[in-house]
Structure formats: structure tokens, C-alpha cells
Structure 1
Amino acid sequence: MAARYMSPVMAMMAALFVATVLSAASSASAGGAPPKVSIRGLTFAGTGCSWSDSNYAFSNNYQTVTFIFGGLVATTDSGLAGRRKFCQLSFYLDYPNGWSFTLGQVTGRGFASIGKGSKGVYETQFYFSGQTGTPTVRRTIYGKQEGNFEFTDKFLTFVYSQCNSAPNLNIKSVVRVEGKKAVIGLDSSDTKFQLKFACIWKKC
């Protein structure tokens, strides 16, 4: 990782400029994708995002949403509560009957400043409302390391949305630290994407 020092205070400020992007019709399978997919709405909650410090905006065609986190940064300098932060987003999707989808992979980008003997953990998981199964990807960064990171991971298990119901897609992102000195955040100070998900569609 390229060296880049960022204090916990600076990290919190940088988080205000972070955007997550989810394309509802990206990376379609060989079987194609529905003729029209849109995101009808979005709700969110968590210790790493709140209505007072986070916001989002839809694209004109409602196929992409940009989300700005306000505090998805975990640090050993903020007491026990600051060692783990999470944000859960719930997407209300609209697409025709006869189609089902899953998330194939996720690209996560952020920064870490991990002291010797400490570690930072980044995790993303998703599930569909009313269905079982929670595919998860996890990365652990061990100290001593400092700088930006970018990981692209495939979900090892596939859970498809129930056919002809368009259930809500719920995505939960978690950052946590362990040890004496560590900071990890899912954000980027240059406003490039922070999380990008690839959808896989199939007819059902």
C-alpha cells in the first residue's frame, strides 16, 4: 500500500466526501438482464452513518445511487464504541417479474493505519428481506501498515432474490480494529467510488 498518514480526526473529515455506488443493472450474466431496473428508495442506519452526517442522491434514471458516509471509520482512539462502526443500507428495487439476481462481487476502497501487533478488519455482507442466507466477504489488515487499500472480492456463496417478489436488498458494511493503535475506514478523500457491487441476473 502507498504510504499515507491520516490522523483519526482527519479520517473522520475525509469520510464526509466518500461515495458508494450501486448499479442496479451492472455486470449482467450471459442470460441478459431485465429491460428496466430502478432503485425506488433507500433507507440506512448504523453507528457509521446517520441522518445528521450522511446523505445520498439518485441518478436521473434511478439506476445508480451515490451515498456519502459520515463516519464509517473505526479507531482505537475513540473508546470501546469507536472500535467498531457499521452502516446498513436497504434498497427498494423495481424490476419485472420473471427475474432474480444476486451480488457477484464487491470492490471496497479505503485507508488503514495499523500499528505493530494491531489489526483492522473490513467486512461487507448482504441479504434479501424475508430470505435466509447472508453471503459475506472479509479482509484483515495486520500491522504494521499504513496507506490506501482497494480489494475486489467475490462472494463465495450465491443467494438469489426470490422470483416475482423483488425483495429489499440489504447491504451491511463493517469496519473494526483490534490492538493498541489502529485506524481503518471505508472511504476515500478523492471522491472515487468506495463500494461498488456487481449484480448477476438470471431468468426464473
Structure 2
Amino acid sequence: MLKSIVSLLALASFTFSAPGASREKRVDFPGTPPGFEIGSYSVVGAGCPAGTTYWYLNPDKTAVGATFSEFFAEAGPGIPTSGNRKTCQLAFEVIVPAGFTFSISSVDYRVSHRLDSNVTATQQSTYYFQGETDQATARSTLTGPTGGDDYTFRDAFVSPVTSPCHQFIPVLYIDIDVHVENSVNPEASGSLAMVTDLAFNLQSHTCET
């Protein structure tokens, strides 16, 4: 069975400025403001069933990590269609100091993959805040043959989603979907697994009304 490990190394400063859903003015703030921290977190989905995900926080609660043992998709002879796609929804409560907001400008992933000829693997992630209509979606596709090397890619956003101003504990949702498709070559097989280094690049802003 494939095993996958995802490490969420959050809250690295990244220089990016863009408007969010609110009409309030935002001003870039260099670095993470004091009092900014991850509050609570949860996961749900076929890629992260109960008992397969393990969380940890760094000492000052500004970075969160997790390991997954079931977050992979595969296709091929003898593999049921239920194994072709796996999803996982991550949810974080983020404690934001008064007068500040933040956005995710990019996310770095590393995946492990092995794909026969004409087998396709896709990873898609959607980011949004609870109660907000704005979403940011990024997608990456690989087509075999590939030799099984790890692959690193970045979800980068021209207009990243931004937490609402003056909301003390916004909830950030990240819906991750991994899919392997062998319809073009049904006798072929392939797999895609989330491996490690899921790194969030954030930018803090001040709120001005």
C-alpha cells in the first residue's frame, strides 16, 4: 500500500498584495503580527479517514503539521474505481490580531507519482474562508510515462482569497482532490500520493476602514 506524508509548514512570509472579498482597504504588513496563530484544525474525506491523520503544532502555534497514511489515488487493472480519486478537506481556525487580516499567496506541494503511458494524474486544491464567496483554485496535471520521481509544484494565485477584516477567528478551508485516470490506456496503471512539504506562503495585511 502506498503511504503518504504531508507536512504543513505554515505562516512563512510571502510578498504579495491583492484585494480580498471585503471592500475595506488592506495595507501590506511585513511579516506575521504578534498574536497570529493557528487555533484548531480538522480534516474530513476519503483521503484522510478517522485514525489516519496525525497533527502537530510548533511551540508558538504559528505552524501546523500533519501526516496522512491514506491520501493517494491509483488506477489500473484490479483497482476499483473508488481508488481512482481521493479527497480531503482541511479546516483551520486562525487567530488574527485586531486590525489585521491575511491571505495565502501560494502553496508548495511535493507529490510522489508513477504513471504508465497515457495515464494521467491530477491534483486540484480550492481555498476559501467560512462565510465568504471568494475562492481560489489551482490545478496541476501529469501524464505518463513517468519514472516515479517526486514532483514539486506550486499553487500560485493572481487574486488570493483574503480573510475578512475585523474577524477574530476566521476559518480557512482547503479542499484537496487527487485523481488518477487510465481510460485512454485501460491496461496501464498509475498512482499519485501526497508526500511532504505542503508549505503555505502567507501575507499579512492591516485593515483600514
Please tell me the TM-score bracket, short chain as reference: 0.7 to 0.9
**For 1:176 and 1:81, how far apart are their aligned partners in 2?**
10
Say which structure is richer in helix: 1
Counterpart amino acid of residue 153 in structure 1? D
Does the residue aligned with 1:19 lie in a helix, a strand or coil? coil
2:175 corresponds to: 172
Does the residue aligned with 1:86 lie in a helix, a strand or coil? strand
Query: How do residues 1-204 of structure 1 correspond to structure 2 at under 5 angstroms?
Result: 9=1, 11=2, 14-15=3-4, 18-24=5-11, 26-27=13-14, 31-32=29-30, 33-77=32-76, 78-146=79-147, 147-165=149-167, 166-179=169-182, 180=186, 181-187=189-195, 193-204=196-207
Task: Find runs of 4+ consecutive structure 1 residues off by over 4 angstroms.
Answer: none
Unmatched tracts of structure 2, length 5 or more: 17-27
Task: Give yes or no for contact 1:24–1:37 (8 Å, CA) kept in 2.
Answer: no
Equivalent residues, number: 186
User: What's the offset of the Cα at 1:158?
Assistant: 2.0
Task: Give yes or no for contact 1:85–1:176 (8 Å, CA) kept in 2.
Answer: yes
Say which structure is richer in strand: 2
User: What's the offset of the Cα at 1:25?
Assistant: 5.5
**For 1:112 and 1:120, how far apart are their aligned partners in 2?**
8
**Length-normalised TM-score, structure 2:** 0.83
User: For the aligned residues, what is the CA RMSD?
Assistant: 1.6
Task: Give yes or no for contact 1:50–1:70 (8 Å, CA) kept in 2.
Answer: no
**For 1:122 and 1:194, how far apart are their aligned partners in 2?**
15
User: What's the offset of the Cα at 1:26?
Assistant: 3.2
**What are the superposed Cα offsets for residues 15-53 of structure 1, whole Å, 9 maximum, x if unpaired?**
2xx132142353366522422211111011011002211
Bigger radius of gyration: 2
Counterpart amino acid of residue 29 in structure 2? G
Task: Give yes or no for contact 2:126–2:138 (8 Å, CA) kept in 1.
Answer: yes
User: What's the offset of the Cα at 1:131?
Assistant: 0.2
**Length-normalised TM-score, structure 1:** 0.85
